[in-house]
Amino acid sequence: MARKPLLSGNWKMHHNHFEAIQTVQKLSYLLTDADYQAVDVSVHPPFTDLRSVQTVLESDEVPVALGAQHCHWESKGAFTGEVSPPMLAKLNVSYVIAGHSERRDLFGETDDMVNRKVKAIFAAGMTPIMCVGEHLEEREAGTTEERVSSQVRAGLAEVGAEQAAELVIAYEPIWAIGTGKTATTEDAQAMCAEVRGVVRDLYDSSVATAVRIQYGGSVKPTNTAELMAQADIDGALVGGASLDPDDFSRIVQYHRGE
Protein backbone atom coordinates (compact mmCIF):
# COMPACT_ATOMS: atom_id res chain seq x y z
CA MET A 1 0.00 0.00 0.00
CA ALA A 2 1.28 3.46 -0.86
CA ARG A 3 2.36 5.55 2.09
CA LYS A 4 1.54 9.17 2.83
CA PRO A 5 3.45 11.75 0.79
CA LEU A 6 6.72 12.89 2.37
CA LEU A 7 7.65 16.58 2.30
CA SER A 8 11.30 17.03 3.33
CA GLY A 9 13.06 20.31 4.03
CA ASN A 10 16.79 20.25 3.25
CA TRP A 11 18.33 23.26 4.99
CA LYS A 12 21.78 22.60 3.47
CA MET A 13 24.49 24.82 5.07
CA HIS A 14 22.05 27.34 6.53
CA HIS A 15 20.83 28.14 10.07
CA ASN A 16 22.92 27.99 13.21
CA HIS A 17 21.29 26.12 16.07
CA PHE A 18 19.49 29.21 17.39
CA GLU A 19 17.99 29.90 13.98
CA ALA A 20 17.12 26.23 13.57
CA ILE A 21 15.19 26.22 16.85
CA GLN A 22 13.23 29.30 15.80
CA THR A 23 12.48 27.83 12.38
CA VAL A 24 11.17 24.51 13.62
CA GLN A 25 9.14 26.17 16.39
CA LYS A 26 7.47 28.53 13.95
CA LEU A 27 6.83 25.66 11.54
CA SER A 28 5.13 23.73 14.32
CA TYR A 29 2.82 26.69 15.01
CA LEU A 30 1.81 26.86 11.35
CA LEU A 31 1.05 23.17 10.81
CA THR A 32 -2.05 21.45 12.16
CA ASP A 33 -3.14 17.93 13.03
CA ALA A 34 -4.93 17.78 9.70
CA ASP A 35 -1.64 18.47 7.92
CA TYR A 36 0.16 15.69 9.77
CA GLN A 37 -2.68 13.28 9.00
CA ALA A 38 -2.41 14.09 5.29
CA VAL A 39 1.37 14.06 4.84
CA ASP A 40 4.63 13.16 6.54
CA VAL A 41 7.12 15.97 7.15
CA SER A 42 10.85 15.87 7.80
CA VAL A 43 13.46 18.57 8.35
CA HIS A 44 17.16 18.11 7.60
CA PRO A 45 19.27 20.70 9.41
CA PRO A 46 23.09 20.86 9.48
CA PHE A 47 24.83 18.44 11.84
CA THR A 48 25.46 21.19 14.42
CA ASP A 49 21.70 21.76 14.73
CA LEU A 50 20.52 18.17 15.05
CA ARG A 51 20.55 17.89 18.83
CA SER A 52 18.82 21.26 19.27
CA VAL A 53 16.11 20.44 16.76
CA GLN A 54 15.67 16.97 18.24
CA THR A 55 15.10 18.51 21.67
CA VAL A 56 12.43 20.88 20.36
CA LEU A 57 10.59 18.20 18.38
CA GLU A 58 10.55 15.75 21.27
CA SER A 59 9.89 18.16 24.15
CA ASP A 60 7.05 19.89 22.28
CA GLU A 61 5.79 16.59 20.80
CA VAL A 62 5.94 17.97 17.27
CA PRO A 63 5.14 15.17 14.76
CA VAL A 64 7.89 16.23 12.35
CA ALA A 65 10.62 13.69 11.62
CA LEU A 66 14.24 14.63 12.15
CA GLY A 67 16.50 14.08 9.16
CA ALA A 68 20.18 14.41 8.33
CA GLN A 69 21.76 15.60 5.10
CA HIS A 70 24.62 13.12 4.81
CA CYS A 71 26.58 10.41 6.58
CA HIS A 72 29.57 8.13 6.12
CA TRP A 73 28.95 4.44 5.51
CA GLU A 74 31.27 3.19 8.28
CA SER A 75 30.02 2.99 11.85
CA LYS A 76 33.29 4.33 13.29
CA GLY A 77 36.88 4.93 12.32
CA ALA A 78 39.56 7.41 11.31
CA PHE A 79 37.36 9.57 9.09
CA THR A 80 37.94 13.10 10.35
CA GLY A 81 34.98 15.38 9.76
CA GLU A 82 32.52 12.57 9.01
CA VAL A 83 29.46 11.41 10.95
CA SER A 84 28.38 7.78 11.14
CA PRO A 85 24.86 6.31 10.83
CA PRO A 86 24.83 4.99 14.44
CA MET A 87 25.67 8.49 15.69
CA LEU A 88 22.65 9.85 13.84
CA ALA A 89 20.43 7.03 15.04
CA LYS A 90 21.26 7.94 18.66
CA LEU A 91 19.77 11.38 17.96
CA ASN A 92 16.54 9.72 16.79
CA VAL A 93 17.16 10.73 13.19
CA SER A 94 14.59 9.05 10.95
CA TYR A 95 15.72 9.95 7.42
CA VAL A 96 19.17 10.48 5.95
CA ILE A 97 19.78 11.96 2.49
CA ALA A 98 22.22 9.89 0.44
CA GLY A 99 23.81 11.05 -2.78
CA HIS A 100 22.42 14.55 -3.03
CA SER A 101 23.65 16.10 -6.27
CA GLU A 102 25.75 18.63 -4.37
CA ARG A 103 27.51 15.77 -2.59
CA ARG A 104 28.07 14.01 -5.90
CA ASP A 105 29.26 17.11 -7.78
CA LEU A 106 31.17 19.03 -5.12
CA PHE A 107 32.56 16.18 -3.03
CA GLY A 108 32.99 13.43 -5.59
CA GLU A 109 30.50 10.92 -4.25
CA THR A 110 30.10 7.98 -6.61
CA ASP A 111 27.22 5.58 -7.18
CA ASP A 112 29.14 2.97 -5.18
CA MET A 113 29.55 5.32 -2.24
CA VAL A 114 25.83 6.12 -2.34
CA ASN A 115 25.03 2.39 -2.33
CA ARG A 116 27.26 1.88 0.72
CA LYS A 117 25.48 4.71 2.49
CA VAL A 118 22.02 3.37 1.64
CA LYS A 119 22.89 -0.02 3.15
CA ALA A 120 24.54 1.56 6.21
CA ILE A 121 21.55 3.84 6.85
CA PHE A 122 19.18 0.89 6.73
CA ALA A 123 21.50 -1.12 8.99
CA ALA A 124 21.32 1.66 11.60
CA GLY A 125 17.51 1.57 11.59
CA MET A 126 16.92 4.74 9.58
CA THR A 127 15.44 5.39 6.13
CA PRO A 128 17.57 6.66 3.23
CA ILE A 129 16.38 9.37 0.88
CA MET A 130 18.44 8.32 -2.14
CA CYS A 131 18.89 11.12 -4.67
CA VAL A 132 19.20 10.62 -8.41
CA GLY A 133 19.21 13.11 -11.27
CA GLU A 134 20.84 14.34 -14.46
CA HIS A 135 22.91 17.33 -15.52
CA LEU A 136 21.68 19.73 -18.16
CA GLU A 137 24.14 18.37 -20.73
CA GLU A 138 22.84 14.85 -20.14
CA ARG A 139 19.27 16.01 -20.64
CA GLU A 140 20.22 17.86 -23.82
CA ALA A 141 22.05 14.77 -25.08
CA GLY A 142 18.94 12.64 -24.54
CA THR A 143 20.56 10.40 -21.92
CA THR A 144 18.43 11.41 -18.93
CA GLU A 145 16.62 8.08 -18.59
CA GLU A 146 19.83 6.10 -18.97
CA ARG A 147 21.66 8.17 -16.36
CA VAL A 148 18.87 8.13 -13.78
CA SER A 149 18.12 4.44 -14.27
CA SER A 150 21.78 3.56 -13.77
CA GLN A 151 21.88 5.58 -10.54
CA VAL A 152 18.80 3.79 -9.19
CA ARG A 153 20.19 0.36 -10.07
CA ALA A 154 23.61 1.11 -8.59
CA GLY A 155 22.15 2.63 -5.45
CA LEU A 156 19.99 -0.42 -4.81
CA ALA A 157 22.66 -3.04 -5.41
CA GLU A 158 22.41 -5.76 -2.72
CA VAL A 159 19.43 -4.05 -1.08
CA GLY A 160 16.68 -6.54 -0.29
CA ALA A 161 13.05 -6.09 -1.29
CA GLU A 162 11.83 -5.47 2.27
CA GLN A 163 14.23 -2.58 2.73
CA ALA A 164 13.68 -1.26 -0.79
CA ALA A 165 9.96 -0.96 -0.04
CA GLU A 166 10.80 1.42 2.81
CA LEU A 167 13.13 3.55 0.69
CA VAL A 168 12.55 7.13 -0.44
CA ILE A 169 14.02 8.06 -3.82
CA ALA A 170 14.32 11.74 -4.71
CA TYR A 171 14.49 12.59 -8.40
CA GLU A 172 16.21 15.95 -8.61
CA PRO A 173 17.23 17.30 -12.01
CA ILE A 174 20.55 18.90 -11.14
CA TRP A 175 20.01 21.82 -13.49
CA ALA A 176 16.88 22.80 -11.53
CA ILE A 177 18.42 22.93 -8.05
CA GLY A 178 18.69 26.45 -6.71
CA THR A 179 18.19 27.97 -10.15
CA GLY A 180 14.52 28.84 -9.90
CA LYS A 181 13.92 26.51 -12.85
CA THR A 182 11.67 23.51 -12.47
CA ALA A 183 11.19 20.53 -14.74
CA THR A 184 7.82 20.69 -16.44
CA THR A 185 5.16 18.75 -14.60
CA GLU A 186 5.07 16.29 -17.46
CA ASP A 187 8.85 15.75 -17.34
CA ALA A 188 8.86 15.41 -13.55
CA GLN A 189 6.08 12.82 -13.70
CA ALA A 190 7.75 10.94 -16.56
CA MET A 191 11.04 10.68 -14.71
CA CYS A 192 9.43 9.65 -11.43
CA ALA A 193 7.53 6.99 -13.40
CA GLU A 194 10.86 5.89 -14.90
CA VAL A 195 12.33 5.54 -11.40
CA ARG A 196 9.34 3.48 -10.26
CA GLY A 197 9.66 1.31 -13.34
CA VAL A 198 13.29 0.54 -12.52
CA VAL A 199 12.29 -0.44 -8.97
CA ARG A 200 9.58 -2.69 -10.44
CA ASP A 201 12.16 -4.33 -12.71
CA LEU A 202 14.54 -4.88 -9.80
CA TYR A 203 11.91 -6.22 -7.40
CA ASP A 204 8.18 -6.41 -8.14
CA SER A 205 5.02 -4.30 -8.35
CA SER A 206 4.40 -4.33 -4.60
CA VAL A 207 7.83 -2.82 -3.87
CA ALA A 208 7.40 -0.31 -6.70
CA THR A 209 4.08 0.77 -5.22
CA ALA A 210 5.46 1.05 -1.70
CA VAL A 211 8.58 3.09 -2.49
CA ARG A 212 8.07 6.84 -2.14
CA ILE A 213 9.43 9.00 -4.95
CA GLN A 214 10.03 12.67 -4.28
CA TYR A 215 10.62 15.45 -6.78
CA GLY A 216 13.31 17.97 -5.92
CA GLY A 217 14.40 21.10 -7.76
CA SER A 218 13.13 24.62 -7.00
CA VAL A 219 9.95 23.38 -5.33
CA LYS A 220 7.85 26.35 -4.21
CA PRO A 221 4.40 26.93 -2.70
CA THR A 222 3.15 27.91 -6.14
CA ASN A 223 4.08 24.67 -7.90
CA THR A 224 3.72 22.03 -5.20
CA ALA A 225 0.06 21.15 -5.73
CA GLU A 226 0.53 20.59 -9.46
CA LEU A 227 3.58 18.41 -8.91
CA MET A 228 1.93 16.43 -6.14
CA ALA A 229 -1.12 15.72 -8.29
CA GLN A 230 0.99 13.49 -10.53
CA ALA A 231 0.57 9.74 -10.22
CA ASP A 232 4.21 8.90 -9.48
CA ILE A 233 5.24 11.87 -7.34
CA ASP A 234 4.89 10.97 -3.66
CA GLY A 235 6.54 13.97 -2.06
CA ALA A 236 9.08 16.74 -2.44
CA LEU A 237 12.66 17.35 -1.39
CA VAL A 238 12.60 21.09 -0.76
CA GLY A 239 15.71 23.25 -0.59
CA GLY A 240 15.61 27.03 -0.32
CA ALA A 241 11.87 27.31 0.30
CA SER A 242 12.16 25.11 3.39
CA LEU A 243 14.34 27.71 5.14
CA ASP A 244 11.30 29.96 5.54
CA PRO A 245 8.69 28.31 7.77
CA ASP A 246 5.91 30.29 6.09
CA ASP A 247 6.86 29.00 2.66
CA PHE A 248 7.53 25.45 3.83
CA SER A 249 4.22 25.28 5.70
CA ARG A 250 2.41 26.33 2.52
CA ILE A 251 4.22 23.60 0.63
CA VAL A 252 3.21 21.04 3.25
CA GLN A 253 -0.37 22.33 3.09
CA TYR A 254 -0.70 21.85 -0.68
CA HIS A 255 -3.28 19.16 0.13
CA ARG A 256 -5.73 21.82 1.29
CA GLY A 257 -6.18 23.03 -2.29
CA GLU A 258 -6.17 26.66 -1.22
Residue 1 binned pLDDT confidence (cut-offs 50, 70, 90): very low
Does a structural domain hold residue 1? Answer: no
At 141 the pLDDT is 87
Closest of 133, 159, 151, 129 to residue 234, by C-alpha: 129
Total structural domains within the chain: 1
Is 255 labeled as catalytic in the residue annotation? no
At 218 the pLDDT is 86
Catalytic site residue from 102, 134, 138, 172: 172
Q: What is the per-residue pLDDT across 128-180, written as a single tens digit (0 to 9) for each?
A: 999 999 988 888 888 889 999 999 999 999 999 999 999 999 999 887 776 77
The pLDDT > 90 percentage for the chain reads: 88
Does a structural domain hold residue 130? Answer: yes
Catalytic site residue from 44, 70, 100, 102: 100
Range of the domain at 164: 6-256
Q: Is the pLDDT of residue 78 over 70?
A: yes
Does a structural domain hold residue 94? Answer: yes
At 176 the pLDDT is 74
Is 70 labeled as catalytic in the residue annotation? no
Q: Is the pLDDT of residue 217 over 60?
A: yes
Strongest mean pLDDT among 2-11, 72-81, 101-110, 128-137: 72-81
Q: Can you give the CATH number for the domain in which 152 is found? A: 3.20.20.70
Does a structural domain hold residue 167? Answer: yes
